[in-house]
Amino acid sequence: MKNVIVASLCQKFCRAKDAIETVDSAVEELTNSIGNTSWISEWKKSEKNAKMQRGEALMIYNVVQPPGMF
């Protein structure tokens, strides 16, 4: 019984460690993009398009989590 609990905890730890590395990477990428004029310009173009086109163009506002990440 103890071996099963230990194995389960080890698996959970490995999944949590992978998830944290992914989140840390995303945070670092977003932090580095702050103030990036080309990135901001591209987003503003997408925003303008979304306001005018509606429908599928509004998908830029959806925050999507990759399947199986958490």
Domain layout of the chain by residue ranges:
1-34, 37-70
Do 58 and 50 contact (CB within 8 A), yes or no?
A: yes
Q: How far is CA 63 from CA 58, 59, 60, in A?
A: 11, 9, 8
Tell me whether residue 20 is exposed, middle or buried, using C-beta atoms within 10 angstroms of its C-beta: 0 to 12, 13 to 18, 19 or more: exposed
pLDDT at 14: 92
As a whole number of Å, the end-to-end CA separation of the chain is 27
| Tens of each residue's pLDDT in the chain, 70 residues | 778 898 999 999 999 998 888 888 888 888 887 878 888 888 888 888 888 888 888 887 887 766 765 5
Q: Look up the pTM and report it.
A: 0.41
63 conformational bin, left if phi > 0, alpha if psi -120 to 50, beta if neither: beta
